[in-house]
Structure 1
Amino acid sequence: MTETHCELCQTEGGQVLVRARLWRIIDAGDPVFAGFTRVVWNAHVKEMTDLDSDSQARLIAIVLRVERVMRETLEPHKINLASLGNQVAHLHWHVIPRWEDDLAFPAPIWNAPAPGPDKATLAGLRSATVNSRLSDYHQALINEFQNET
């Protein structure tokens, strides 16, 4: 089921790293928060409770596997998991690597304050480091899910 007005039904939502029949994993392409990943349920549903219990368990398992691969390859200080859907009412999970020197830490990335010069410099250095690991992270995700259908 797709919706003509839904961004995640009409577009991929980012660079597709892994596609399965029921879900896809995308790189959100966030220039400030490198490594920001989304797990998107392919069919248009709004809430986790719109899925049957097997699909709910499958989706959460996928999100947790993405988190594990992220921890192993990007080595963030913390990982944020979020399923909001307020702006795009299509079931998807955000998997966001966080570091103590990122522009928003410890606040959520969506309401990051304007950084001071020191924080911006540190965040820029962190972003360069993370960007250098992104191809390894993407390949690790592809390897992790290569047998998924």
Structure 2
Amino acid sequence: MSSPACELCALAVEPVFRNDKLSVILVDDAAYPGFARVVWNAHVKEVSDLAAADRLMLNDAVWRVEMALREVMQPDKINVASLGNMTPHLHWHVIPRFSDDAHFPQPVWAGAVRATDAPVLAARRALLGQLGAAIVRRMNQENN
């Protein structure tokens, strides 16, 4: 079941990966190249609403996206969060973090403490094509 009022039911961006259960999108965030979301396609609010096999599939997808981010972006840390307070549709944020990013070591939703140099951000954005390919490759592998 989908909801027309839910921004994640009708994704505004083309997913880098999609199957019948979930989608992976790269968030257009200039300060955080590589910021990804794993979105459950059906309108579901909580992980506990999923069947056991679906919970495992979702967790596995988050892990695969994290591994692709580590492979391509080589961040200092990965943040994984499922909030859904503003959009009550099950999704996970998978965010590469760097010690020079605007909010490090605080969450990306905190106040900025610095500005990341533009050439650094441009170099990270240049990796997004490779990241998309790595996500697709990892999502299509039988076992990692």
8 A Cα contact 1:6 1:88, kept in partner: yes
Greater mean deviation of Cα atoms: 31-40 or 135-144: 135-144
- Deviation of 1:147 after TM superposition, in Å, equals 6.2
SS in 1 for 2:44: coil
Per-residue CA deviations over 1:97-118 (Å, capped at 9, x if unaligned) read: 00000000000001132x4xxx
- Deviation of 1:94 after TM superposition, in Å, equals 0.3
Runs of 4+ in structure 1 over 4 Å off: none
Corresponding residue number in structure 1 for 2:52:
53
Corresponding residue number in structure 2 for 1:4:
4
Q: Find out whether 1:124 has 2:118 as its counterpart.
A: yes
Q: Find out whether 1:23 has 2:17 as its counterpart.
A: no
Q: Which segments of 5 or more consecutive residues in structure 2 lack a partner in the other structure?
A: none
SS in 2 for 1:40: strand
- Deviation of 1:13 after TM superposition, in Å, equals 4.3
Q: Find out whether 1:79 has 2:78 as its counterpart.
A: yes
Corresponding residue number in structure 2 for 1:103:
102
Per-residue CA deviations over 1:19-65 (Å, capped at 9, x if unaligned) read: 10000000111111111000000000000001011111110011001
- Give the Cα separation in 1 of the matches to 2:42 and 2:122: 35
Q: Which segments of 5 or more consecutive residues in structure 1 lack a partner in the other structure?
A: none
Per-residue CA deviations over 1:61-116 (Å, capped at 9, x if unaligned) read: 11001101110111000000000001110000000000000000000001132x4x
Q: TM-score normalized by structure 2?
A: 0.92
Aligned-pair identity (%): 41
- Give the Cα separation in 2 of the matches to 1:92 and 1:14: 15
Q: Which has the higher helix share?
A: 1
SS in 2 for 1:129: helix
| Cα RMSD after superposing both structures | 1.5
Among 97, 112, 136, the alignment partner of 2:130 is 136
Q: Find out whether 1:88 has 2:87 as its counterpart.
A: yes
SS in 1 for 2:93: strand
